[in-house]
Amino acid sequence: MPIPCDVAILGGGTGGYVAAIRAAQLGKKVVIIEKDKLGGTCLHRGCIPSKALLKSAEMYAEILDSESYGIETTGAALVFPKVQARKDAIVDQLHKGVQYLMQKNKIEVVHAKGRVIGPSIFSPQSGAVAVEFEDGEMDTVVPTNLIIATGSRPRMLPGLEPDGRYIMSSDEALRMDELPGSILIVGGGVIGLEWASMLNDFGVVVTVIEAADHVLPAEDEDVAKEMQRLLGKRGVRFLTGAKLITDSYRTEDQSVHIDVQLAGDNLETLTADKMLVSIGRQANVENIGLENTDIKVERGYITVNKYLQTGEGHIYAIGDCIGGLQLAHAASHEGILAVNHLAGESVHPVETHRIPRCVYTRPEAASIGFTEKEARERGYEIKTGKFPFQAIGKSLIHGSRDGFVKVIADNKTNDILGVHMIGTHVTELIAEASLAQMLDATPWEVGQTIHPHPSLSEIMGEAMLAVDGKAIGM
């Protein structure tokens, strides 16, 4: 029996279920089609479980360093199965929360595989979704508007696909029963560095292989270099500007072996217990029926306009499947924007450079806006301010002297072009910079905001004042 609705959402991840809630708030009848669990990658295979593991790693590192706080401990032991159990409990609790939100907002959830179909007896236009349940039964969801939110999966290197024992993507790494003694991490981007930081804190010997000249190639170079320095100081080995010779991969003596080409064409054979391939994510655009529509896919991502409409105006696409910043909060924002637009509400298109980016390593990194290089390439005449955490009392109280906040501003208009930070809990500070950009605040205005003392937030005011050479604390 066909299921008619106002809005159907193909994919129940963060972007999908947030879009569903917003549509329900606007009085729409909503159906989510999800073949797995509500919450998608973020809740089950990404943001939440990885940050739960990172917190346990941070706690373990602090316990081992407790003497510096005047606390002597003996017998501290890492019990990894309990670490995993804590992670699973957090995921389970949040999953139940999402299920409750669906019930509360009267959103129908169809647990099945979905495939977009063209014009048919069900609808004169494409956008209906044929659904196939686990028992083989079929049905059709017939919406007025469709939102595609199918997400992404780890991108893999040919010849280095997960094998269940030696090679992992982040999906398999999250399900490890025990920690390896050593690991090779292919890719020095956000996900690779978070795993490097976590596993290093857990006592694993870590080597990171990155093709670019430095890690975090999408971030401001000052932050990237500081991150590499601080993780290197902890014992993480970095091979940058390196080319992995995938054909050389082999397993011997219960270890992985692979050759890497370094600067000057020098070859080195790397050996470790396991390998984690972390080279980005690939959109889930295959086998969802796009060929039955006028939707275009370019470079592996669904093409959309500024209002997130595809080549067919009544069909929208959001989140990882459209590329851009593949972040859960970006997908959520896009979901709300798409729903508001299809409902005729006033909307402001997403500006990618105004989406905050976070790296949950130890120390953390966060940013919003243009890097210094990007600002210069766009022709801005810039001025910058930088303030160190070693001059912030609360950072010393937390036990850290490392890191800084860097502000990039337009010398002509005084607009804030970018804010980049590395240090203790900076992922909790970047929202102030995000708000400042949304309100078109100047560095002076943020600098005049009263920040409580002692707090880490004081560094925001100081860094803003530093743009014009007026920082108080140094």
DSSP characters over 326-373 = --HHHHHHHHHHHHHHHTT-------GGGS-EEE-SSSEEEEEE--HH
Q: Provide φ and ψ at 437, rounded to 5°.
A: -65, -40
The answer to whether the beta carbons of residues 393 and 344 sit under 8 Å apart is: no
3-state secondary structure of 461: helix
DSSP characters over 32-83 = EE-SS-TBHHHHHHSHHHHHHHHHHHHHHHHHHTGGGGT---------HHHH
State the SS3 of 442-459. Answer: CHHHHHHCCCCCCCCCHH
Q: Which of 233, 190, 224 is nearest to 404 (CA)?
A: 224
Which residues participate in catalysis according to the annotation?
Answer: 453
How far is it, in rounded angstroms, from Cα 74 to Cα 152? 44
pTM for this predicted structure: 0.96
**Backbone torsion region of residue 365, taken as left when φ is above 0, otherwise alpha when ψ lies between -120 and 50, otherwise beta:** beta
Q: Which of 435, 59, 114, 155 is nearest to 288 (CA)?
A: 114
Q: What is the pLDDT along the chain (474 residues), one digit of tens a residue?
A: 899 999 999 999 999 999 999 999 999 999 999 999 999 999 999 999 999 999 999 999 999 999 999 999 988 999 999 999 999 999 999 999 999 999 999 999 999 999 999 998 888 899 999 999 999 999 999 999 999 999 999 999 999 999 989 999 999 999 999 999 999 999 999 999 999 999 999 999 999 999 999 999 999 999 999 999 999 999 999 999 999 999 999 999 999 999 999 987 889 999 999 999 999 999 999 999 999 999 999 999 999 999 999 999 999 999 999 999 999 999 999 999 999 999 999 999 989 999 999 999 999 999 999 999 999 999 999 999 999 999 999 999 999 999 999 999 999 999 999 999 999 999 999 999 999 999 999 999 999 999 999 999 999 999 999 999 999 998
